[in-house]
Structure 1
Amino acid sequence: MWARALLLWGAAVAVGLSAGIPPHEEAARVARFVAHSCDWAALATLSAQEPPMRGQPFANVFSVSDGPKGSQGSGVPYMYLTALEVSVRDLQVNANASLTMSLAQTSYCKRKGYDPQSPLCAHVIFSGLVEKVPNGTEADFAKTALFSRHPEMASWPRDHDWFFAKLNITNVWVLDYFGGIKTVTPEEYFNAVP
């Protein structure tokens, strides 16, 4: 069963990436494409740890999903968090964060021969507030989105009090071509079809 699911997941990834990244002139579509293609991201917070780290930037890797593979995705980066995580403790003091995703984590850039730092290896940077997703329809969607891509999450220790969270996006920057970063409004981002 797992082998079949893995095969289907791999086929969905290959189809999505082979369909191609949207044209670089359509930055909002590129941002949605990157967000849906990536399974993890670097989340940067302002550290609430003891000095000398307090108030300093602190980046950490988290599994993310904006929807199951094969779907269009919601554009909302969902995460599965616990207060035991150091970055979550930072967020409890200051919920502002940035989240970076890059196609370098997919096969796209390697197939094209793009270095991860190359603008052609598209990446997107979001900023906003990390918020707990309230129980209900959105939490159900977040669970489906995350557990379909990260099935191991379903077996993580229950005594860690896991909860679903999302980045409430206030700013979007896209780097997908030479000439500098592009700004996309949240409205443009959510209205774009990847």
Structure 2
Amino acid sequence: MSGRLLFTFVSVLHLACVSTTSHRIPPHEEVARVARFVVNQCDWGSMATISTHDPVKGQPFSNVFSISDGPVGYGRGIPYMYLTHMEISVKDLEVNPQASLCVSLAQTDFCKAQGFDPQSPLCAHIILSGSVVEVQNNTIEAVVAKKSLFDRHPEMLDWPSDHNWFFAKMNITQVWVLDYFGGVKTVTPDDYFKATPY
């Protein structure tokens, strides 16, 4: 066995014992837990909408958004966002709220420490499909969304008030997980929310 193959083999055997920034990724067999873990570890994601803007109208359009599902180690699984109707992707969502959101452990120290390329299946990433909806003001969920986002993204407190920011969330209809060899796996929303990521 070559040195590189041996390194990969040993790394795969010990994935469950390797830390990200402060927690250990669940075993790859526990797919729903892996999904919850990755979503909770990530501070941002790439969200694809269906563009309403020429010259790419009707085509997928991907953009980066800061997210939070709660404090690291205590996430709820729901990706919250702080948005403005002035933003180009939000204008797409006003016409069609369907979107997909991709988050990857490549943004933590996990993949780099293991020598995993961001495209490698071993550098776990999750794709959430669903719709993006506004969180209603003056609700408990609005309080949760605000604390979840502002604790992890304190800069948001100083964003221009005249942009009429609002809290939004993704209503998840499907979860796609790529964290190991053998192709993508799917998780139902019920199984996703029942899972404990830590």
TM-score, normalised on structure 1? 0.90
Aligned to 2:28: 24
Give the aligned CA root-mean-square deviation in angstroms: 1.3
- The letter of the residue matching 1:168 is N
- The letter of the residue matching 1:158 is S
- In structure 1, C-alpha distance between the alignment counterparts of 2:64 and 2:130, rounded to whole Å: 17
TM-score, normalised on structure 2? 0.88
Of residues 19, 41, 44 in structure 1, which corresponds to 2:45? 41
Aligned to 1:147: 150
Shift of 1:60: 0.0
> What percent identity do the matched residue pairs reach?
65
- In structure 2, C-alpha distance between the alignment counterparts of 1:72 and 1:107, rounded to whole Å: 19
Residue ranges of structure 1 left out of the alignment (5+ in a row): 1-14
Give the number of aligned pairs.
Answer: 179
Aligned to 1:12: none
Aligned to 2:140: 137
Aligned to 1:180: 183
The answer to whether the 8 A contact 2:20-2:108 is kept is no
- The letter of the residue matching 2:135 is V
Of residues 76, 83, 88 in structure 1, which corresponds to 2:85? 83
Per-residue CA shift, 1:46-96, capped at 9, x if unaligned?
A: 00112x211011000000000023x42100000000001000000000000
- The letter of the residue matching 1:148 is D
Larger Rg: 2
Residue 110 of structure 2 corresponds to residue 120 of structure 1: no
Shift of 1:17: 3.8
Residue 170 of structure 2 corresponds to residue 167 of structure 1: yes
Shift of 1:16: 6.0
- In structure 2, C-alpha distance between the alignment counterparts of 1:16 and 1:66, rounded to whole Å: 17
- In structure 2, C-alpha distance between the alignment counterparts of 1:74 and 1:140, rounded to whole Å: 14
- In structure 1, C-alpha distance between the alignment counterparts of 2:98 and 2:51, rounded to whole Å: 11
